[in-house]
Amino acid sequence: MIHTLPIRIYYEDTDAGGILYHASHIRFCERGRTEFLRDLGWTNSGIEKELGILFVVRHMDVDYLKPAGLDDELTLQTSVARVKKTSFIMKQELYLSKDLIFSMNVVLACIDRDKKLVKIPENIRNALQTGG
């Protein structure tokens, strides 16, 4: 499953030169991961309340390929690349029109309320692997 999220670049997303600020890419990707989970029927707050787990970023591998600027319309694509017992990897790509401008692989670890690494619950693991 590839989740798509449209994004417009606002003034607050840019640096002093009107170019998309490097941290804004990461914020956009956070939104994309949240909406991906929502489309699977889960919310971050619901997962924590119902299952007592959280997904936290363990590692990011990012590549800034081309700039984007104020008022540009982007498309963020989010997908699951791999699911392991206690973590999963998501691939996220930002496009300006058809041009890939940013790519990231992010490792998300599953932890409990005591911040200890735990297995991803089977129902969530299955949803991540099958896209629903």
Q: What predicted TM-score, i.e. pTM, was given to this entire model?
A: 0.90
Per-10-residue mean pLDDT, the chain, length 132:
95 94 96 94 90 95 97 97 96 97 98 95 90 69
What is the set of domains in the chain, with CATH numbers? 2-124 (3.10.129.10)
- Please report the pLDDT score of residue 132 as a whole number: 64
Cα first-last separation, the chain: 8
The two three-digit tokens of residue 97, written as one number: 């029109």
Cβ-proximal residues to 59 (8 Å cutoff; 6+ apart), any chain: 106, 107
- Please report the pLDDT score of residue 91 as a whole number: 98
> Is 99 marked active-site?
no
94-100 contacts, C-beta under 8 A, 24 or more apart? 94/7, 94/25, 94/28, 94/29, 94/68, 96/66, 96/68, 96/72, 99/66, 100/65, 100/66
Which of these is catalytic: 13, 15, 61, 63? 15
